[in-house]
Amino acid sequence: MKNYFTLVPFTLVVALAGLSNRALAQDTQTDNHQISVVVPTVALLDLETSATRNFTASFTKPANDEAGDKIVAPAANSTIWLNYTSIQTGTTTKKVNVKATPLVDGIDIHLVAATAVGGAGTKGTPTAGFNLLTTDQALISDIGSAYTASGPTSGHQLTYTFIADDANYANLRSGSTTVTVTYTLADN
């Protein structure tokens, strides 16, 4: 005869053990997990134009070749646009510095940046403009996390004007000088 009394308690113990495991692994009304979101620090700058970014600014002889008149300055050039993308680390803002080398004796190259067009975020504030020097000058300041959009007609339109000021007229020399204008996106 089989021992039913030994089999019943063993089966009961196994069944109770299975129920206790289910009680510990039950789902609740809420649960969670973590997502790591990574945003890179970004500092990108570009000059855009629908023409060529290199151009010639030619002074000309006085109108009608009239002796005693001053040379004629070239027309202002507003074909270049400054684009940037910036993602900040902390609260430090960025700026756009600009410098030129070499300078042209007797000639001032004046630069102005317009307010940014396009994009989003904390786009920078342009200065009133200045004559280029061989050392960095801040053209646009207080750039936060922002982008200007890309291409000509987006970002800050740059305007170059060329002046042969009377105070420097004695320094003028004929010839051609290639000036390199360098823009840098840097921390404020």
pLDDT of amino acid 175: 96
pLDDT of amino acid 62: 92
Whether 120 and 167 have beta carbons less than 8 Å apart is answered as no
Question: How much is the pTM?
Answer: 0.82
**Averaged confidence pLDDT in the chain:** 90
pLDDT exceeds cutoff 70 at 6: no
pLDDT of amino acid 12: 47
Q: 155 or 27: whose pLDDT is higher?
A: 155
**Cα of 176 vs its chain's centroid, Å:** 32
Dist CA 151 CA 27 (whole Å) = 54
What are the angstrom distances between the C-alpha of 27 and each of 32, 97, 116?
12, 59, 54
What are the angstrom distances between the C-alpha of 186 and each of 17, 42, 136, 149, 177?
67, 11, 11, 19, 28
What are the angstrom distances between the C-alpha of 45 and each of 48, 62, 71?
10, 39, 36
By the 10 Å C-beta count (0-12 exposed, 13-18 middle, 19+ buried), 11 is classed as exposed
pLDDT of amino acid 17: 52
- Please confirm whether the linkage preceding 152 is cis (ω < 30° from 0): no
pLDDT of amino acid 27: 87
Which residues in the chain belong to E strands, given as ranges? 42-48, 77-87, 94-101, 108-113, 120-121, 125-126, 130-131, 137-143, 146-147, 156-163, 180-187
pLDDT tens digits for 36-87? 999 999 999 999 999 889 999 999 999 888 999 999 999 999 999 999 999 9
